[in-house]
Amino acid sequence: MAVEGLAVLLAIALTFAGVFDCSSAYDRPPARRSHLVPLSDDLDSTSPQQVHISMVGEDKMRISWITDDPTLATVRYGTSAGAANGISANGSTSSYKYLLYKSGQLHNVVIGPLKPNTVYYYRCGLDLSPQFRFKTPPAQFPIKFAVIGDLGQTEWTRSTLQHISKSNYDVLLLPGDLSYADYLQPLWDSFGRLVEPLSSQRPWMVTQGNHEVEKIPLLHSTPFTSYNARWPMPFEESGSNSNSYYSFEVAGVHITMLGSYTDFGVGSEQYEWLQSDLGKVNRTKTPWLVVLLHAPWYNSNTAHQGETESIDMKAAMEGLLYGSRVDVVFAGHVHAYERFTRVYNEQANDCGPVHITIGDGGNREGLASKYISPQPKISVFREASFGHGMLEVVNATHAQWTWHRNQNDEAVASDAFWLQSLAANPACKE
């Protein structure tokens, strides 16, 4: 894209980022610039880039990648190196426009059925393309989830990704705010290149945040254009009609991803879908029930207080989650870490979910460093540091949660506790 075009986009981005910034008034440390990750000199116009994978059903994987020029939407894969001689699967190709920007060729291919806990090698597009590999999640406990929110693409982000890369996780969960492109579309490309070393090897399951909306009155009226085109999730497989909310199951865990910036009121399509989705959960098959959303329902940071995406969504949906005995709710949005006790309707409740805010992945806006004083009794641990979390579900009854701050060179837990599944708690059975 011409320099003049980028300049226009940047001006628009800065204007609307200011006009539609929905954060509360609070002090942040100085913001840092996003780091543009350039296209490697080793790649040509049909080489796969920005490769990432996501789960589709219990035994399939979606391979997503981008090329500058048209090429085959084909993946060859197998369990031994030299996947060019393996199984071949075909998919679809699309592209999108956003103001003056036109995307590259977005390819999506679903492969499978796949064996659990198995390493697969694969090539995207032409047989001469680079070889990648990924490992499928296990079919049974134990399983380890990496959890990060509000990731961005700064030096803080790089530190977070380096820590996660050493953790040997099975699936990554991200509750919104991925690239912080904020209307400047080349930053979506940069983000895809930044995360590719991880996202091409393990499934990344994501949901949207406010930085994915990218809606501009009069100029671009459709929300989530870039996000939906680049990060398709398995919503149709779970009976959803929107990429903004969906669910999936893996190794005894049912995970529901909600959209804080899609209509969530009682009677809305998302509300009706959530009610149906939770009603189908079989706690014998999946004794663990986890929910991800972007705007936290519980928050003692001074940042993002009083927002409708938190208050009104909680008022509409908290009863559904409590009635279904959801074990834990992960959120982002607030750029800090906080863990609440099991809670329902603002009170500690042994049958309510644990609420965890993990919006500390590394975004350019910096940390939300001020908290409400005194600390509410239901808030167990809070700290304004960049980091990531690990949820290791050990068996049908117990899981360990650990949060790691980036300042630690080693993966030392700064906050850790054990959860017992509410399905295993006789007092919480209706």
Half-sphere exposure of 187 (CA within 13 A, CB side): 24
Strands 328-331, 354-358: pairing kind: parallel
Collapsing DSSP to helix, strand or coil, 24 comes out as: coil
The rounded distance, in Å, linking the Cα atoms of 111 and 90 is 8
| N-terminal to C-terminal alpha carbon distance within the chain | 59
Active site residues: 304
Half-sphere exposure of 408 (CA within 13 A, CB side): 14
Instruction: Return the sign of the alpha-carbon dihedral for residues 115, 257, 26, 338.
Output: negative
Closest CA to 45 of 126, 141, 134: 126
Contact (CB, 8 A) for 54 and 38: no
Let me know the angle formed at the C-alpha of 31 by 181 and 96, rounded to the nearest 5 degrees: 5
What angle separates helix 186-199 from helix 155-165, to the nearest 10 degrees?
20
Give the position of tokens 């806006």: 365
Q: Which residues contact 3 (CB under 8 A, 6 or more apart)?
A: none
| Phi then psi dihedrals of residue 41, to 5 deg | -65, -15
Closest CA to 137 of 84, 106, 179, 173: 173
DSSP state for residue 40 in the 8-state scheme: P
Cα R_g (the chain), whole angstroms: 21
The rounded distance, in Å, linking the Cα atoms of 269 and 266 is 9
Burial pattern 385-421, b for ≥16 Cβ within 10 A else e, equals: bbbbbbbbbeebebbbbbbbbbeeeeeeebbeeebeb
Q: Give the DSSP H or E segment for 282.
A: none
198: left (phi over 0), alpha (psi -120 to 50) or beta: alpha
Please give the single-letter amino acid code of residue 193: R
